[in-house]
C-alpha cells in the first residue's frame, strides 16, 4: 500500500509539474513593466519602442513610459523555438484611437535578446493557421474604420522581418455577416 501511495504521489507531482506554464509564457495581460521576461529582453523591447516616440511633443508620455505600460502576450508563430513576443500599446500610447485601434510591436527572442520583427496597428493581431513562409506563420491584423467597416492586413515573414503581403477591406451588415473586398497591395 505504501509503495502504491508513493507511486500515486509521484504521478500526481509529475502531472502537476508538466502542467506548469513556461516561465516566459506567464505574461498574459501583464504590462511590459511586470511581465516575467529576462531583463535584457525587456530592455531591448523598451529601447526599440521608445525610439519610435522620441519626437513626441513636450507633455506627452515618454517612449519608455509608453513601452512599459504596453501589454505583453506570447504568440506561437514557428513550430520550433520560443514564442514571439507581441507588445500591444497600452493606455499611455497617444496613437490609440476611439475605434480600438492601436500600435503593436512584434519581437523574436533569440538567446537572451529581443529582435524586432514588425510594427503595425489595428485592434487585433493573430497568426494565420497553416500559412508558413520562411518558417513563420503569416500574421493578420484587423483595423476598425467605423462600426461596420474595416481593413485586414496580412504580413509575411521574409526570413528577417515581417512585411505587408496583401490587404483587403471588409464590411459587416446588420446581421453581423462579414463581406470581404478584393485582396490587393497594401498602401504603406
Asked if the structure places residue 124 within a domain, the reply is: yes
> What residues make up the domain containing 96?
23-180
Other CB atoms within 10 Å distance of the CB of residue 153: 21
Asked if the structure places residue 96 within a domain, the reply is: yes
Other CB atoms within 10 Å distance of the CB of residue 6: 10
**Length of the chain in terms of residues written:** 188
Q: How deeply is 87 buried, as exposed, middle or buried, from its count of CB atoms within 10 A (0-12, 13-18, 19+)?
A: buried
Report the alpha-carbon distance of residue 127 to residue 138 in Å, rounded.
Answer: 6
What global pTM score does this model have? 0.78
Question: According to the model, what pLDDT value does residue 183 have?
Answer: 86
| Most confident segment among 2-6, 25-29, 52-56, 114-118 | 114-118
Asked if the structure places residue 186 within a domain, the reply is: no
Band of residue 188 on the pLDDT scale cut at 50, 70, 90: low
How many alpha carbons lie under 13 Å from residue 109 in its C-beta half-sphere? Answer: 24
Question: According to the model, what pLDDT value does residue 100 have?
Answer: 82
| Most confident segment among 20-34, 45-59, 86-100, 120-134 | 120-134
Total domains present in the chain:
1
Asked if 63 and 69 touch (Cβ cutoff 8 Å), the reply is no
Question: According to the model, what pLDDT value does residue 98 have?
Answer: 74
pLDDT of 180 higher than 50 = yes
Asked if the structure places residue 7 within a domain, the reply is: no
DSSP letter at 21 equals P
15 or 129, which is more confident: 129
Asked if the structure places residue 1 within a domain, the reply is: no
Cell reading at 118: 514588425
Asked if the structure places residue 62 within a domain, the reply is: yes
Strand partners, 5: none
Asked if the structure places residue 110 within a domain, the reply is: yes
Only one residue has cell 470581404, namely: 180
Asked if the structure places residue 11 within a domain, the reply is: no
Amino acid at each position: 500500500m505504501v509503495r502504491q501511495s508513493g507511486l500515486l504521489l509521484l504521478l500526481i507531482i509529475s502531472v502537476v509539474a508538466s502542467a506548469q506554464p513556461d516561465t516566459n509564457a506567464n505574461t498574459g495581460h501583464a504590462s511590459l513593466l511586470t511581465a516575467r521576461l529576462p531583463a535584457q529582453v525587456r530592455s531591448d523591447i523598451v529601447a526599440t519602442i521608445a525610439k519610435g516616440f522620441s519626437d513626441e511633443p513636450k507633455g506627452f508620455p515618454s517612449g519608455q513610459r509608453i513601452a512599459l505600460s504596453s501589454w505583453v502576450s506570447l504568440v506561437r508563430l514557428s513550430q520550433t523555438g520560443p514564442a514571439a513576443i507581441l507588445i500591444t500599446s497600452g493606455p499611455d500610447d497617444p496613437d490609440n484611437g476611439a475605434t480600438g485601434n492601436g500600435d503593436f510591436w512584434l519581437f523574436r527572442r533569440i538567446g537572451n535578446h529581443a529582435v524586432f520583427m514588425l510594427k503595425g496597428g489595428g485592434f487585433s493581431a493573430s497568426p494565420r493557421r497553416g500559412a508558413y513562409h520562411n518558417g513563420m506563420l503569416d500574421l493578420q491584423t484587423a483595423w476598425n474604420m467605423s462600426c461596420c467597416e474595416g481593413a485586414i492586413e496580412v504580413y509575411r515573414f521574409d526570413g528577417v522581418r515581417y512585411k505587408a503581403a496583401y490587404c483587403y477591406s471588409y464590411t459587416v451588415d446588420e446581421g453581423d455577416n462579414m463581406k470581404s473586398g478584393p485582396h490587393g497591395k497594401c498602401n504603406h
